[in-house]
Structure formats: C-alpha cells, structure tokens
Homo-oligomer: A and B are copies of this chain.
Amino acid sequence: MDLTPLAKKMFLRLEPPSLADNTADLDRLRRGLKTAHGLEEVAVDLEVARKAPAILRRSGWRVTALLGLDGRPPRLLDLEAGQTAGREAGLAVDLGTTTIVGELLDLATGRSLGSASETNPQTALGPDILTRIQAARGQGLARLQGLAAEGINRIASSLASGAGLKEEEIVCLSVAGNTTMTHLLLGLDPANLCREPYIPVINRPDPVEAGTLSLKAHPRAPVFVFPNVGSYFGGDLIAGLVASGLAEREEVSLLMDVGTNAEVVVGNKDWLVGCAGAAGPALEGGVAKMGMAAGPGAIERVRIDPRTLEPQLKVIDGRAEPPLGLCGSGLIDLVAELYLAGVIDLQGKLLPLDHPRLVATEEGPAFVLAGGPGERSGEEEPILFSQVDLDILLRSKAAMYTILVTLLSQVGLTFQDLAKIYVAGTFGQHIDPWRAMVIGMVPDLDLSRYVSLGNSSLAGAVKGLVSGEARRKAARIRDRITYLELNVNQEFMNRFSAARFLPHTDRVLFPSVPRPAPRPEPRVG
C-alpha cells in the first residue's frame, strides 16, 4: 500500500548547537529532516519559525515536526515538543448533498479508525442542490460554508473521541463531493453552476488549510478537495473513478453514478469519455408522497410474491417502527417486482386488478405497499405507490438508459463491449442490478459484469487521503475525461420515448427479462 498522506509527523532528535556547530535553529531542523527522513528541502512558515526556538530548547532538542507533503518542497506546518509522531490521523469525507460520511484513518498504518455519517446540516436551508445555490446568495454563502464545516466537524469530533485522539491530531483531510457541495465548503459562489453556461469557480482547487475552512482538525492540516470536470461532474465521481480502478485497466468499462443527475464515464487506461444528464429526482427519493432519501426508515428492498402480491420489505436501520417511505433502490425493486407479477404492463400502466392491495385514488390506481388495511402500522398514512409515482420513475429510468445508449453510440461501442459496469454513489450501493435491468434502467448483461462500488466517493476519498499516487490519479483522470455535452435532439428524444416501456419497446434488447406472470382477473372499469 502506498502510504503517502498529505501530512505526516516526524520525530527528530537534534544535536544541541555548539560553537563548533552553530547553524540556525530552523536550518538544524531542516538538516535533521534531511538526515533522518530524507527530505531534501523544506519550506518553513513564519508562524512556525517564530515559535521554534522556545520549543526546541524546552524539549531538549527532541521535537516532532508536522510536514505538509503535497507540495514541492514539503512545508513545515507545525512543531511540537517531544515525541508525538505515530498517533496522527486523517479524515476522508464524502460530502453529499443529503448525507456526509466520514472515515478516520490511522496515517501510520492506513488502518480505519472508524466511520460515521451525519445529515448534511445544509438541508435546513434547502433539500437539494438547486435550493442550496439559491440559499447561497449574499450572506447565505458564509452560512452554508459554516454548515458544511459543522457537519464534517460533528463527524471529526465523534470519530476522534472514539479513537481516543484529540481533534488536532487529525492532520490532513480529503473531501469528495459534487461540484456544488465542494464549492459551498470552500466558500466559493455557486451561482454560476446552475445558470447557462454552467461555470464552476474552479475545477482544480489547491489544498487549503483546515483552519481556513473552520474545520475541527489541526488548523494547518491540508485539505485535499477532489477536482471536478464541470458543474455536473463532481469530485465525488472522480473519487469513484479512482476507487474503481477503471481508468488504469486495458479493458473498457463504464461507471455510472445514479441520482437526480446521472453521471456516466466510459473508457479505460487510454481514454475516458463522460457525460451527465438530468435523470429526475425519482431515484433519490424526490417523488410524490412516499419517496425519501436512502436513510433510516426508508424501504430499500422490496420483494413481492407474484401469486399473493404480498410484499416483503427491508428497511434501512429497520427496528420495530413502520417504514417511513421508499428510497430509490426500493422504488426500482417495487416496479420490477410489480412488473414481474403482472401488476404493471409493458407500457408502464398499473393495472386495475381486483386485489385488496390495489386501490383507486384521486390520482388513479395505486398499490398499497405498507400500512394498508389489516396491517398494524399505527396511525401513519399508508405507503401508496401510484401511477403518478410510476410515471416519474419511468421517466428517470428511461433518461438513465438513454444517457447510457447515447454515450456508447457516441464512442462507437455497444454494451457488450463493456467488461464491467460500476455502479457508484451512495445511492448506487443499494441498487439491485437485476431489478434495475428488469425495468430497463440498465442494459441486459450478465450480472457478473455489474459491480456495486458501495460508497465509492468515500472509498476514493480514503485513497486520496493516504496515497499521493491516488491524488495524482485523480488529477490525471480529471484532465483526461473528455466531457460530452448531451445533445437533447430528436434522436435522443426518440430513444427516450422507446426506453419508457418496461423494460423497453424493443424487447430484443432485454432477452433475459422474463415476460410478466399472467394475471387472470383484470378488474372491470
């Protein structure tokens, strides 16, 4: 394992000065860093130089230097009396719009010291990227910056205390997030991200100091922020690419990050082409009444008995409580299961069957997933899945598939040419590829080609935290991606319309997907 974190502590035993060896304090320190740790040249910040003489003498010339190692030359960030090296940690952060996940790492071994997640405190000012950008106007930007820091700080504090460390012993951080989230964390105005022609302030931020961002860590700790390609192609995706290894292999693979905004990259070690497009909010739970983000209480998995139509649900953090709603992966499961059970037809219509789970509502027919008659789910509203919800999901899945088809046709490949399809993002880790294939959201391929990356943004952030090679990879991947503007022309629209069927108007494209079970008793009227 390449253990080259952004910052490192180094212990030094220095010879005290004498008339025979009267080199200056900081030059003595530099000499020690060269002799004992092979650092040829070290830049010294004035702040450290100012306090060094007292620390050197008080400690009897036994000191621990904190070095920032990402620039050339390395930089002396701090100096402590005595031996304090070996305990320092780094924090990798997946800065999501909804959820922030952090993992603390022992920098000496690369070992995980624990992970934790928090709802992004910015949600108080708006649930999604667009509302956040609106909230960032004027003084709002500083507030959103502070809230992002607050979310990371809660994680930093709890992980540090769990590992028996002081917050200042976190000596470096890496952050992967979408372009808007990293802009807000850095205090950069996101206004132009959502206005044509969609311009970020910066694509390749230089490392900043934790103190500048009000992060609870060593104030001089370098913070590496994953670069982005553009407004819709964030550092989280780059981190996912780093985690997947896609960009280093001979074989051609594809990585897809499914969400309100779908991001897709195809390529190998020689080339990388990517595009992003709106897939609609359905996949992130932003639909109708029963949709919710993947989080405690959300139904993430659905199985339906094709005979009885009785659902079996798996709820995130599910205890005794009834589920609160349905997240994206649950939604995909539900539609696939209803389709296979013959409750939804090829054209994406909920059939008005004569069954207690199918009820008529003002918005048309609906399937009662939980809390219906005869179920003991307290006084909550029943969780209904209506035709309106279905239509929204079908648009999202059609958009996703169309984006994939369009991208591949642009690079002259077919799905069969893909060695792997990596499903990335916090949402992606919950998707069942088979059911996503049943509804025609992803191509019909051998399931072994699908690889769920779990939280690939965090996995990439972890790599970026501990490995200089990973950080350089991130920079190279960013520079190598050819960004393809999705041209929403007639051809795209035709593809999109064809993809709104289940699984597709052209069933030949989905040979593995079985025809639905016949349902004998359509209700009349």
Whether A189 contacts B50 by the Cβ 8 Å rule is: yes
CA distance A101 to B325 in the complex (A): 75
List of B residues within 8 angstroms of A43 by Cβ: 206
A49 within 8 Å of B (CB atoms): yes
List of B residues within 8 angstroms of A149 by Cβ: none
A200 within 8 Å of B (CB atoms): yes
List of B residues within 8 angstroms of A192 by Cβ: 25, 53
Whether B212 contacts A22 by the Cβ 8 Å rule is: no
A17 within 8 Å of B (CB atoms): yes
CA distance A351 to B416 in the complex (A): 112
| Candidates B24, B49, B186, B206; contact of A199 at CB < 8 Å | B24
A72 within 8 Å of B (CB atoms): yes
Given known contacts A54-B189, A189-B54, A203-B27, is B49 in contact with A198 (CB within 8 Å)? no
| Candidates B18, B44, B52, B187; contact of A206 at CB < 8 Å | B44
List of B residues within 8 angstroms of A18 by Cβ: 197
Given known contacts A189-B53, A208-B46, is B26 in contact with A203 (CB within 8 Å)? yes
Task: Specify the main secondary structure of chain A where it touches its partner.
Answer: loop
CA distance A485 to B18 in the complex (A): 12
Given known contacts A53-B192, A205-B44, is B25 in contact with A200 (CB within 8 Å)? yes
List of B residues within 8 angstroms of A52 by Cβ: 201
The CB with the most chain B CB atoms within 10 A, among A18, A49, A196, A231, is that of A49
A304 within 8 Å of B (CB atoms): no
List of B residues within 8 angstroms of A23 by Cβ: 199, 203, 230
CA distance A188 to B48 in the complex (A): 10
Whether A17 contacts B199 by the Cβ 8 Å rule is: yes
Given known contacts A22-B197, A24-B230, A196-B19, is B49 in contact with A202 (CB within 8 Å)? yes
CA distance A400 to B197 in the complex (A): 73
A191 within 8 Å of B (CB atoms): yes
A 12-50 contacts with B by CB, 8 A: 17-19, 21-27, 43-46, 49-50
- Minimal beta-carbon separation of A202 from chain B (angstroms): 4
The CB with the most chain B CB atoms within 10 A, among A53, A72, A196, A212, is that of A53
Given known contacts A197-B19, A199-B17, A200-B25, is B49 in contact with A186 (CB within 8 Å)? yes
List of B residues within 8 angstroms of A485 by Cβ: 19
Which residue of B is nearest A30, CB measured? B204
Whether A199 contacts B25 by the Cβ 8 Å rule is: yes
CA distance A54 to B192 in the complex (A): 10
CA distance A21 to B49 in the complex (A): 45
Whether A53 contacts B191 by the Cβ 8 Å rule is: yes
List of B residues within 8 angstroms of A189 by Cβ: 50, 53-54
Whether A203 contacts B46 by the Cβ 8 Å rule is: no
Whether A198 contacts B26 by the Cβ 8 Å rule is: no
List of B residues within 8 angstroms of A72 by Cβ: 72
Whether A201 contacts B53 by the Cβ 8 Å rule is: yes
CA distance A371 to B506 in the complex (A): 116
Given known contacts A49-B188, A53-B192, is B197 in contact with A17 (CB within 8 Å)? yes
Whether B197 contacts A24 by the Cβ 8 Å rule is: no
Given known contacts A50-B188, A187-B50, is B19 in contact with A201 (CB within 8 Å)? no
CA distance A198 to B202 in the complex (A): 48
A 149-195 contacts with B by CB, 8 A: 186-189, 191-192
Whether A204 contacts B27 by the Cβ 8 Å rule is: yes
List of B residues within 8 angstroms of A199 by Cβ: 17, 22-25, 53
| Candidates B21, B46, B200, B231; contact of A187 at CB < 8 Å | B46
| Candidates B22, B25, B197, B228; contact of A201 at CB < 8 Å | B25
Which residue of B is nearest A54, CB measured? B189
Whether B198 contacts A22 by the Cβ 8 Å rule is: yes
Whether A201 contacts B49 by the Cβ 8 Å rule is: yes
| Candidates B24, B197, B203, B212; contact of A203 at CB < 8 Å | B24
CA distance A22 to B53 in the complex (A): 50
Q: 30 interchain pairs (CB within 8 A)? A: A17-B197, A18-B197, A19-B198, A19-B485, A22-B198, A22-B230, A24-B199, A24-B200, A24-B202, A24-B203, A25-B199, A25-B201, A26-B201, A26-B204, A27-B203, A27-B204, A43-B206, A44-B202, A46-B186, A46-B206, A46-B208, A46-B212, A49-B202, A50-B186, A50-B187, A50-B188, A50-B201, A52-B201, A53-B188, A53-B192
| Given A23-B203, A24-B201, A49-B188, 5 new contacts (CB under 8 A) | A21-B197, A22-B230, A25-B192, A46-B205, A53-B201
Contacts from A to B (Cβ < 8 Å): 17-19, 21-27, 43-46, 49-50, 52-54, 72, 186-189, 191-192, 196-206, 208, 212, 228, 230-231, 485
Q: Which 6 A-B pairs have the closest CB atoms?
A: A24-B200, A26-B202, A24-B203, A19-B197, A17-B199, A22-B197
